[in-house]
Amino acid sequence: MNAATGVAAWAALGACVVALGPAGARWLRVAQREHYLPGAGTRFALRWWRNEPRNVVLAVVAVAGLVAAVWWPLSALATAVALAVGPRGLSVRGRTSKLGLTRRLKTLAAVWAVLQAAIVVVGAAVGAPAPVAATGALLVPLLVDAACLATAPLERRLMGPFVDSARARLRRVDPTTVGITGSYGKTSTKNYVAHLVAGTRTVVASPASFNNRAGLARAVNEHLVEGTEVFVAEMGTYGPGEIRELCRWCPPTIAVLTAIGPVHLERFGSEDAIAEAKSEIAEPARVVVVNADDPRLERLAAGWSAVGDREVVRCSATDETADVCVQRKDGAVTVTVAGDRVAVGVPLREGVQPTNLACALAVALHLGVPSEEALARIATLPSVPNRLTAAQAASGMYVVDDTFNSNPAGARAALAVLAAAPVGGRRVLVTPGMVELGPRQAPENEAFAAAAAAVVTDFIVVGRTNRRALVRGAGERRPLLVDTRDEAVTWVRGHLGPDDAVLYENDLPDHYP
């Protein structure tokens, strides 16, 4: 390597190192938003680099610069520039989901930086600083994933004392613990249980979506006070064994399974695998409450009943032979318990799913809440923010907010609410579509768009994640395509009036393309 080539090689290496700044910030932010799950960075990188022509061009430039750098080291400058500015649309600082400089993020960044530095050192040692540094820059998402994997045991150990404290507090306070899980409906059912029970028992529910190991431990340590009689714990999972681990230190006496669906299907592989992972919540429970309208849960219930080692309570929105049945008609419900109609025409606000309410009622009754007290509280069930809430805005426009939902069943329910909206004007759907559905994502979004096309007058597709599938499904409805939800909201405010309705179905943070 002559002097000029050597200078070029080191200049290119320097440029690649500089590019690691913005590139690292982007993919560390993605890792943080995806709960530090190994593989998330690489998965999102593949989406971003191919989501639109300008990013495809930048990706080609980055790879071409790397290849050419083997012979012409200065070509790595092209790689550095492409990775510093791209993928376009994925900002460094974040718009809706900003990078939070937490202790965990700093630890992850430090490990990632060590991995990147090792690559640079190896490149210099083998006499190929430019191409090796360019390779390291190109592999930032993969190295962030490697750092997530490397730091996972440390994070688990650091969380240990908080979990131990939560375990000790649960033993000391000794509440009856109600564990709730499912692909969807967890948060709503949790809130309904707390509301129905609160009139007669002292109850604490885990806040927001604190449903993993860290969140549940924090909920116990910060919210479970002396004298609490009932603790309602939402339990989520991204893989097999996670709920079982939660139940080791927070064992539910009553377990509730709300529904099984394709949410997180890309992580689990099949709905049967999802059902198996969710069913772990029943292992320590003496009473298991299931949504028997879900075929997979009904099969699980039949198996548990056959074993006979726990009480199984079947809940339904259609089957009056179920242990608890809540049937909805014209804004009111009929409640049947153990074959007896105990209430007819109980007012129920829009957005409450009857099966979720049936499960919550079953829990309340098993906790000793008098049926008349539980039934009286149905009319005042709380709404869950951003989950199928409908209200008239100050402008007079009818707004259906379902921005925290991302599953086919919920989307269909929201569409039905839009169709029934008490307006005579336009009905508008704003959506980025549904995510984390694995191989079913495209067909489910296409089917949803087709159903929406029969209801709406205007269809606005946000972002590019599901754009093709939604456009195909919408057919002749020809959606308006926008890049951000803010653009969609601006359009809605400029075009809709008091006799119009809009449904905001799901919302994706800006680390999605």
For 447-474, what is each residue's pLDDT tens digit? 999 999 999 999 999 999 999 999 999 9
Q: What is the three-class DSSP state of 188? A: helix
Query: Longest C-alpha distance within the chain, in Å?
Result: 92
| Regions of the chain with pLDDT less than 70 | 1-6
Which distant-in-sequence residues (6+ apart) come within 8 Å of 312 by Cβ?
Answer: 287, 288, 290, 301, 304, 305
Question: Which residues, listed in sequence order, are joined to residue 212 by a DSSP beta bridge?
Answer: none
- Which superfamily is assigned to 174-380 in CATH? Mur-like, catalytic domain (3.40.1190.10)
Distance (Å, rounded) from C-alpha 334 to C-alpha 341? 7
Question: Which residues, listed in sequence order, are joined to residue 59 by a DSSP beta bridge?
Answer: none
Residue 326: what pLDDT?
96
Which distant-in-sequence residues (6+ apart) come within 8 Å of 111 by Cβ?
Answer: 147, 150, 151
Distance (Å, rounded) from C-alpha 377 to C-alpha 192? 10
Domain ranges of the chain: 3-154, 174-380, 389-505
Sheet containing 230-234: give its strands across. 203-205, 230-234, 176-181, 254-257, 287-291, 311-316, 324-329, 332-337, 340-347
Residue 24: what pLDDT?
96
Distance (Å, rounded) from C-alpha 334 to C-alpha 350? 15
Distance (Å, rounded) from C-alpha 406 to C-alpha 404? 7
Q: Where are the alpha helices (DSSP H) in 175-236?
A: 186-198, 213-223
- Phi, psi angles (nearest 5°) of residue 33: -65, -25
Distance (Å, rounded) from C-alpha 472 to C-alpha 92? 32
For residues 501 and 428, the answer to whether their CB atoms sit within 8 Å is yes
Distance (Å, rounded) from C-alpha 336 to C-alpha 42? 50
389-505 fold: Protein-Tyrosine Phosphatase; Chain A (3.90.190)
For residues 89 and 105, the answer to whether their CB atoms sit within 8 Å is no
Distance (Å, rounded) from C-alpha 394 to C-alpha 508? 25
Tokens of 487: 């653009």
Question: Tokens 């409805």, residue?
Answer: 477
Question: Which residues, listed in sequence order, are joined to residue 310 by a DSSP beta bridge?
Answer: none
Distance (Å, rounded) from C-alpha 263 to C-alpha 274? 9
Distance (Å, rounded) from C-alpha 318 to C-alpha 332? 14
Query: Quick one: 268 exposed, middle or buried, by C-beta within 10 A (0-12, 13-18, 19+)?
Result: buried
Q: What is the three-class DSSP state of 342? A: strand
Residue 3: what pLDDT?
57
Residue 4: what pLDDT?
57
